Amino acid sequence: MNHSDGERRVALLVSAEVGCIAHVRQILASDAALSLEHVAAMPAAIDEMRVREVEVLLVDLAQLGDDRFAWLAPIQHAEVSVPIVLLSDRDDADEALRALGEGVQEYIHLRDESPSRVVRRLHHAIERHRLIVALDAARHRAQVAATHDPLTRLPNRYLLEEQMHRVLPTARRDGGGVALLYVDLDRFKSINDTLGHAAGDEVLAQVAGRLSSFTRKSDVVARVGGDEFLILLTDIRGEFAPAIVAEKIQEEMSRPFHLSGRDYWVGASVGIAVFPRDADDADTLMRHADLALYQVKASGRGDSRFYSGVLDESVHKRHALEHALRRALGQGGLRIVYQPIFDTTTLGVVGAEALLRWKDAELGRVDPGEFISVAEESGLIVPLGEAVLRTACEQLAQWKSAGHELVMTVNISAHQIDEERLRNLVTQALWDSDLRPGDLELEVTESALMRDEEAAVRTFAALKQIGVGIALDDFGTGFSSLNYLKRFPVDTVKIDRSFVHDLVHEPDDAAIVSAILSMARQLDLAVVAEGVETEQQRAFLTERLCDRLQGFLLSPPLPAEAFEELLRTGVVPAKVEEAGD
């Protein structure tokens, strides 16, 4: 191998024929950009290109024997990217076409061309190649962006589904098995909320690393949602492989994550579906893995579970409800009704309780008790609760500007109890609708406070400081009601409607209600009786100086327009159905 000066780029000629080498050297002598080097055979050229940059590869076709293209395969195989120019000893149009079809840039019949034209064609070949490489790189980048999650660099849902559609037909033909594992992190949200998004991202990246560490190369690990991952296992026999992988996931995820010097435990729930046993196509496989995961979550998380055809009815139903609720949140179908709260003596309206109503196109009217618990389990309660609070505040602002004085009461779920988030939400909602803190009262049940007492104490102390009212809902149904009155800054207790219901016939209930009323008086708390349905109940409560009444006797929950009419006229509009459908 002969070397020439360094500045110019290398044109590497493959030829053992002295006449050809001399000819090409003469042609390139006039070119300032390229310097010629030569090797005698293709293997040497490939070795050369592996260690140094070659601007263009010139191949002397004359000496390549019968199969004049056999040398191309090894060069393509070597994955070196270089423009190739063929120097031919004959002017063969078919051969030229075939060469271009193989990705060769130029086919030059040396004897026909002037030296300057050959040089020009070499430079064109180099330029064209450069463009193609740039285009390929751009295409590759776009493809990666469209098929991968930028944070973890794992395939995204799209790529996983592609892969699934590729492997299922093969598995069906060969009688192989494919398993899909749906992985959902258990406590990711709280890390994200308390330590911030950067920490959350760090956890996701680490999870991606852990999940990829024990899967085979042919398996696909994809990130398909905030904290959701899918693992596709191909070519499995029986249940062994998915069970082992699931166990491995649990093991990996039970190790702590180190974040800013401390250890955090996240944990995962895994739902597994196996093709062809559990599903016959990609969509069903996905749905069944999701259902299995849903079952794990419903029964306490941190576990793995195979799809079982005999999922009980209620799981199916809740799963369907969750999907429909998600849809409703995006597209409407949810609305708020307001139940008036009356002053016992004047019977004027002093408050309104905002209550959610949901009517789904397919499922019809769904009972709040049912969909609120689904919303709580799925985390949907957070955006849902925020929407209720904001809408209720705006509604109250409208009524107040029309000259009506009343307090808006909004139910807060246990899952919304997060000091910072709730404080921000409440201040923002008050500010945006131009209300005073005293215009708003938040209702919370004892069981909600019990879930995480420490957090609840902090949260409600913060809310109290803002100046919003706190009401203890469904009072009397919990175990330690009196305790809570001492520990939480409560302004109002709402006697649960189960006590009110049997007030007149059950001496025990009458005694409980009387006790609550006298205790509340001593503690200087306001009392609302819920679920007042009869005149006898009203008489009993009035006699014992219960401050406020709420119930069907006086008014059902009303749509906003009907409520406004009540405020204006003092009369509950006729023909308003409960919930006003």
Tokens of 376: 């709580």
Whichever of 246 and 449 has its CB closer to Mg ion, that residue is 449
Tokens 């009704």 — which residue? 337
Tokens 């988030």 — which residue? 421
Phi, psi of 109 (to 5 degrees): -90, 100
Conformation bin of residue 85: beta by default, left when phi > 0, alpha when psi is -120 to 50: beta
Q: Give Cα separations from 469 to 130, 276, 490 (angstroms).
A: 70, 57, 8
Neighbouring CB atoms inside 10 A of 41's CB total 13
Per CB under 5 A, the list member of 88, 269, 411, 433 interacting with Mg ion is: 411
538 touches ligand C2E (CB under 6 A): no
Q: Which residues contact 2 (CB under 8 A, 6 or more apart)?
A: 37, 38
Whichever of 202 and 530 has its CB closer to ligand C2E, that residue is 530
Tell me how far apart the alpha carbons of residues 236 and 91 are, in angstroms, rounded to a whole number: 56
Tell me how far apart the alpha carbons of residues 177 and 219 are, in angstroms, rounded to a whole number: 12
Q: Which stretch binds ligand C2E (CB under 6 A): 3-11, 46-54, 112-120, 367-375?
A: 367-375
533 touches ligand C2E (CB under 6 A): yes
SS3 of the chain: helix, strand, coil, percent, to 5: 50, 20, 30
Instruction: Compute the least distance from the CB of residue 473 to ligand C2E, in Å.
Output: 5
DSSP-derived secondary structure for 229-254: EEEEEEEE-TTHHHHHHHHHHHHHHH
Q: Which residues contact 231 (CB under 8 A, 6 or more apart)?
A: 180, 181, 183, 211, 215, 219, 220, 221, 222, 245, 249
Whichever of 227 and 530 has its CB closer to Mg ion, that residue is 530
CA neighbor of 78 nearest in space, from 51, 40, 59: 51
Per CB under 6 A, the list member of 411, 433, 459, 537 interacting with ligand C2E is: 411
Helix (H) or strand (E) holding 447: helix 446-451
368 touches ligand C2E (CB under 6 A): yes
Per CB under 5 A, the list member of 55, 443, 446, 564 interacting with Mg ion is: 443
**Is the N-terminal amide bond of 276 cis, ω within 30° of 0?**
yes
Q: What is the DSSP letter of 558?
A: B
Q: Which stretch binds ligand C2E (CB under 6 A): 19-27, 77-85, 217-225, 528-536?
A: 528-536
Phi, psi of 127 (to 5 degrees): -60, -45
- Please, is 218 exposed, middle or buried when counting C-beta atoms within 10 Å of its C-beta (0-12, 13-18, 19+)? exposed
Contacts (CB under 6 A) with ligand C2E, residues 456-495: 473-474
369 touches ligand C2E (CB under 6 A): yes
The item of ligand C2E, Mg ion, none sharing an interface with residue 372, based on CB under 5 to 8 Å by kind, is: ligand C2E
Q: Which stretch binds ligand C2E (CB under 6 A): 51-59, 91-99, 111-119, 531-539?
A: 531-539
Instruction: Compute the least distance from the CB of residue 353 to ligand C2E, in Å.
Output: 6
Whichever of 202 and 530 has its CB closer to Mg ion, that residue is 530
* Bridging pattern class, strands 364-366 and 526-529: unpaired
Instruction: Compute the least distance from the CB of residue 372 to ligand C2E, in Å.
Output: 5
Tokens 């949907």 — which residue? 380
Whichever of 446 and 530 has its CB closer to Mg ion, that residue is 530
Whichever of 118 and 520 has its CB closer to ligand C2E, that residue is 520
Long-range contacts: 327-331, Cβ < 8 Å, 24+? 328/358, 328/360, 329/380, 329/383, 329/384, 329/387
The item of Mg ion, ligand C2E, none sharing an interface with residue 278, based on CB under 5 to 8 Å by kind, is: none
* Bridging pattern class, strands 34-39 and 9-14: parallel
Q: Which stretch binds ligand C2E (CB under 6 A): 159-167, 170-178, 241-249, 350-358?
A: 350-358
492 touches Mg ion (CB under 5 A): no
Q: Which stretch binds Mg ion (CB under 5 A): 92-100, 194-202, 308-316, 523-531?
A: 523-531
Instruction: Compute the least distance from the CB of residue 173 to ligand C2E, in Å.
Output: 52
Q: Which stretch binds ligand C2E (CB under 6 A): 19-27, 108-116, 352-360, 521-529?
A: 352-360
Per-residue interface string for the shown chain with Mg ion, residues 367-406, x marking contact by CB under 5 A: ----------------------------------------
Q: Which stretch binds ligand C2E (CB under 6 A): 25-33, 81-89, 476-484, 550-558?
A: 550-558
Per CB under 5 A, the list member of 161, 184, 290, 473 interacting with Mg ion is: 473
Whichever of 36 and 442 has its CB closer to Mg ion, that residue is 442
Tell me how far apart the alpha carbons of residues 146 and 136 are, in angstroms, rounded to a whole number: 15
413 touches ligand C2E (CB under 6 A): yes
The item of Mg ion, ligand C2E, none sharing an interface with residue 14, based on CB under 5 to 8 Å by kind, is: none
The item of ligand C2E, Mg ion, none sharing an interface with residue 557, based on CB under 5 to 8 Å by kind, is: ligand C2E
Per-residue interface string for the shown chain with Mg ion, residues 164-193, x marking contact by CB under 5 A: ------------------------------
DSSP-derived secondary structure for 510-535: HHHHHHHHHHHHHHT-EEEE----SH
Whichever of 55 and 474 has its CB closer to Mg ion, that residue is 474
User: Contacts with ligand C2E: how many residues (CB under 6 A)?
Assistant: 23
356 touches ligand C2E (CB under 6 A): yes
Instruction: Compute the least distance from the CB of residue 310 to ligand C2E, in Å.
Output: 31
Instruction: Compute the least distance from the CB of residue 386 to ligand C2E, in Å.
Output: 10
Which residues of the shown chain bind Mg ion in the complex (CB under 5 A)?
411, 443, 473-474, 530
